[in-house]
Structure 1
Amino acid sequence: MTQPRRYLAISLLSALIAAGLWYWMRPAPSAKIPAASSSYSAALAQAHNGQPGAARVLYQQLARTDLSDTRRVSLHAELPNYPSPQALKLADADLQHPSPQVRQAAIQSIVGLVPGAQRTLLLGPLLDDPEQSVRFAAANALLGLSPDEQGLYFGPLQQVIDEFERELKTRPDDPQAQGQLARLYLHEGQLDEARAALEKVTALDPQNLKAVVAQIELLDKRGQTDTARQLLARQLEAHPESAYLQHALGIWLLNHGQTEYALLGLAKAVELEPDNSEYRYRLAIALHDLDQLEAAQRQLEELLQRQPANRKARVMLIRYWKESGQIQNVQVLLAQMEQLNPDDPALQQGL
């Protein structure tokens, strides 16, 4: 073999060896998949824990088209804490998602992001959704609105409610179905039918305290205050460690103008379930109503320590700090809110 040909052969062999080494040593294509998964997980944790930049990464994840339905549903659970035009746009887009589960999650996001009257225009079209569960979710989201707020969708809503009632009646041995049926009857002012449905719930599930509280509310609606009080007292005697019943006692006393006594029940509920944000938030409002502003602020501060993403508590605490002239504390909370979500309407409106 001549010398030039020998050099050519050696060069070709070297190139083949280099190509082979590159092939075996190159990063595996699947390395990109964990990165996407990590990005989703990190964004979800950032939003759930109320960390700076949470809104931005949450929106980025919801804008993706390659997420599983389960992951989209989890992201929607966090979205109401980060309102903005972009958040509303993302939730509205998912009302058209192919998955019924995602559409239902988007409905809940809309409920958290949009006041009642405006909500109707967004959710009304879903009363005609091909999936029954989505129609029922949309109806449930519009149920508490007045006829004026329901507007053009008043008729379609009544049709879906009738359909929902017929479906629930086919499940007489399901306590959850009977509880939903009672709620529909209460909405329509059919108090006797609501009472019968609630009695069926307690017969099927004697430990269902939500049904008991609904019965107490129903008795109040009928002007049977003493009977309601006696039923609540019996249940508290049977379940003294129930945070749900203690909270119900506090609310019942508030509704009957006994705010000072109501604090005992509300505070006991928080003591029994310290991580329940709704119980602590309601206690803070009751303390504020009794001019116990510092105590109310402490409850909201504790709530935010436990749930840093809780926007409702943050907005209320800002108002309370303003009320007491603690401008430095207001500025700190506003700065935190801007770090979380610079497009928050409360910031734009000069809270």
Structure 2
Amino acid sequence: MPRHRHYLIAVLLLILVSVVIGYLSRSEAPTAPTLPPHSYAKALRMAHNGQPGAARVLYQQLQRNDLAPIRRAALYAELANYPSPKALELAKLDLQHDEPLVRRAAIASIRQLLPATQRSLVLGPLLDDDDQSVRFAAVDALLGLDPDAIGLYFGPLQQALDQFQQALEAQPEDPAAQIHLARLYLHEHDYQRADAALQRSLKASPESLEALATQVRLLERQGQHDASRQVLGKALALQPDSAFLQHQLGLWLTRHDQHEYALLAFSRAVELQPDDPDYRYALALTLHQLEQVEAAQKQLETVLSRQPANRKARLLLIQYWKETGQLQNVQVLLAELERQNPDDPILQQGL
């Protein structure tokens, strides 16, 4: 092959290499760092289990913009155990999220993060949301606030509540919808309509325990205490091993200042369903009411041993330890909380 052809081939190769290198090294706008695929599952697991650093990784995940809506909503189910200014900031941002599922999840989280007096200012604007389900979630979150707390949103709340009731009235065959409707009417002291909704629910699902519990409350609100007790008694006679009904019996007895008997019902509920933290929490409250503080503390310790992230149980146990002057135990609980969430507001209060 002639020498000039060798030179030509060499020049072409150099040009080709230069083009390839230029393409590979071309200047691009920096992209946001991505987290490894397992980081979401790890963060969710850490938050659920109350592991050290849980709040930090939970917040990191909520700052991502590439999560599927259902995954983002799952993070909000854990956020209430990790309150802080940052948590509230993230939840507020997602009130503007494109997906209604995420907006509803953020509403549910803010409902727990904010006290009643501050809730309407944040959630009130959602009463005019384009999505009906979001408007109704805002109604549920604001229902029960006094007019002063609702403030300027009193009118929009009443309007959205009317729409909510109309939507539920249009689902007479849906027992869950009718229970929800009955509770809305119960809140408004419209007992006749509440009863009608409950009857529709019970007709569609005669064994619904939620409907029975709501019926008990409805009768109590009308001053029919004997009738409410009979409804609960009949249900328990049919299902004596129902932890839910035993718990409801304990609540009924508590409302009627029969704490000694309530203790028996709550204890039975825990015995039947030992993994339910709400049942143990109610039992701890009743034990404390009866001045059995050590037993109450043990119930809360059991909750935390199984659910270290349970902030409500942790704060109540801290209160009980303080009452008995066992400040070393308080320090242990606060230290664990600080490892989970160093920005928790309770840590600012100290001992």
TM-score by length of 1: 0.91
Q: Over aligned residues, Cα RMSD in angstroms?
A: 2.5
Matched, 1:67 2:70: no
Query: Superposed, which structure 2 residues align to 1:150-229 within 5 Å?
Result: 150-229=150-229
CA distance in 2, matches of 1:49, 1:7: 69
Q: Write the deviation string for residues 119-148 of structure 1: whole angstroms up to 9, x where unpaired.
A: 111000000000000000000111121222
Alignment of 1:134-149 (within 5 A): 134-149=134-149
Q: How does 1:185-334 map onto structure 2 within 5 Å? A: 185-334=185-334
How far is 1:95 from its partner? 0.4
Rounded Cα–Cα distance in structure 1 between residues aligned with 2:237 and 2:124: 44
Say which SS state the counterpart of residue 309 (structure 1) adopts.
coil
Deviates more, 1:228-237 or 1:94-103: 228-237
Pairing of 1:36-75 with structure 2 (within 5 A): 36-75=36-75
1:259-313 Cα offsets, whole Å, 9 max, x none, are: 0110011111111111111111111111111110110010000001111110111
Q: Distance in 2 between matches of 1:224 and 1:213?
A: 14
- Distance (Å, rounded) in 1 between the aligned partners of 2:36 and 2:105: 22
Corresponding residue for residue 25 of structure 1: none
- 3-state SS of 1:52 partner: coil
Distance 2:350 2:221 in 1: 40
- Structure-2 residue corresponding to 1:125: 125
Which residue number in structure 1 is paired with residue 108 of structure 2? 108
Gaps of at least 5 residues in structure 1 are 21-32
| Whole-angstrom distance in 2 between the partners of 1:8 and 1:243 | 88
Shift of 1:9: 8.7
Match of 2:280, as an amino acid?
R
CA offsets 1:187-226 (integer angstroms, 9 cap, x no match)? 1110111112112211110111111111111111111111
Inter-partner Cα distance in structure 1 for 2:7 and 2:339: 64
Q: 1-side partners of 2:176 and 2:291: how far apart? A: 40
CA distance in 1, matches of 2:252, 2:265: 10
SS in 2 for 1:95: helix
Deviations 1:50-109 (A, max 9, x none): 000000110011011111111110111100000000000000000000100000000011
User: Quick one: which amino acid aligns to residue 228 of structure 1?
Assistant: S
Secondary structure in 1 aligned to 2:103?
helix
Structure 1 residues 6, 147: closer, same or farther in 2, change over 3 A?
Answer: same
Once the two structures are TM-superposed, the CA of residue 349 in structure 1 deviates from its matched residue by 2.5
Q: Deviations over 1:247-270 (max 9, x none)?
A: 000010011111011001111111
Q: Distance in 2 between matches of 1:99 and 1:302?
A: 38
Amino acid at match of 1:190: D
Query: What is the DSSP-based 3-state SS (H/G/I as helix, E as strand, rest coil) of the residue aligned with 2:257?
Result: coil
Q: How many residues align?
A: 339
Please give the alpha-carbon distance, in whole angstroms, between the structure 1 residues aligned to 2:68 and 2:115.
Answer: 29
Judging changes above 3 Å, is the alpha-carbon distance between structure 1 residues 270 and 7 closer, same or farther for their aligned structure 2 residues? farther
Distance in 1 of aligned mates of 2:265 and 2:90: 40
Which runs of no fewer than 5 residues in structure 2 stay unpaired? 21-32
SS at match of 2:133: helix
1:79-90 equivalent positions in 2, closer than 5 A:
79-90=79-90
Mean Cα deviation higher: 257-266 or 196-205: 196-205
CA 1:79/1:7 → structure 2, altered by over 3 Å: closer, same or farther? same
Match for 2:309: what amino acid? A
Question: What residue in structure 1 maps to residue 345 of structure 2?
Answer: 345
- 1:148-202 deviation per Cα after TM superposition (whole angstroms, max 9, x unaligned): 2111111100000111111111111111111111111111110111112112211
**Deviation for aligned residue 1:6:** 8.7
Q: Matched residues in 2 for 1:37 and 1:285: separation?
A: 42
Shift of 1:350: 2.5
Q: 1:34 Cα shift?
A: 9.8
User: Which residue type is aligned with residue 131 of structure 2?
Assistant: E
Give the distance between the partners of 1:9 and 1:128, measured in 2 at CA: 71
Q: Closer, same or farther in 2 for the Cα pair 1:225/1:72, shift >3 Å?
A: same
Rounded to whole Å, the distance in 2 between the matches of 1:134 and 1:273 is 33
